[in-house]
Structure 1
Amino acid sequence: MKIQHQLLYSLQKRGFEVCRRIAERLGIRTKIVRTSFIYLTFVTLGFGFALYLFLAFWLKIKDLVYTKRTSVFDL
């Protein structure tokens, strides 16, 4: 049972990052974005999951390219 809780916690911490960032960008609740991905996955037989993975990859690349610097002297 403890392994299931650890797995669930790690999925919620790392896996839902894409939904949270999309929701912040659009200005809507995270729960709406998550349920939209779930419904899209069931309706289109996996396209929603593929879209989710693509967005996760894109956000990871964006984070690697665009790093926030705290000052001008952080080169």
Structure 2
Amino acid sequence: MNIFYKALLYFQKRGYYVCQRIADRLGIRAKVVRTTFMYLTFVTVGFGFAVYLFIAFWMRIKDLLYTKRSSVFDL
């Protein structure tokens, strides 16, 4: 197993599900989004990782602000 797949497995297990949520929104596989982020990180010397963390932070804040309520009585 080479270093690329070790890094890929590490981020799949400990990620913030940013790639999965983007892939679900775009209708593509999450693996494609993950490899795109990894290539972007290598090509731009860390800029892709900074974008990934920013999106993870933004999604977390969005989830905290906009929670889905199951009923009107949950207000």
TM-score with structure 1 length normalisation? 0.81
Unaligned ranges ≥5, structure 2: 1-8
Structure 2 Cα separation of the partners of residues 26 and 50 of structure 1: 21
Aligned to 2:23: 23
Structure 1 Cα separation of the partners of residues 16 and 55 of structure 2: 12
SS at match of 1:73: helix
Q: CA deviation at 1:12?
A: 3.1
Question: Which piece of structure 1 moves more, 15-24 or 35-44?
Answer: 15-24
Unaligned ranges ≥5, structure 1: 1-7
Give the CA RMSD over aligned residues: 1.7
Write out per-residue CA displacement over residues 19-74 of structure 1, whole angstroms, 9 at most, x where no aligned residue. 10010011110000000000000111111000000000000000000000001111
Structure 1 Cα separation of the partners of residues 49 and 12 of structure 2: 16
Alignment of 1:23-62 (within 5 A): 23-62=23-62
TM-score with structure 2 length normalisation? 0.81
The answer to which structure, 1 or 2, has the higher relative contact order (CA under 8 A, 6+ apart) is 2
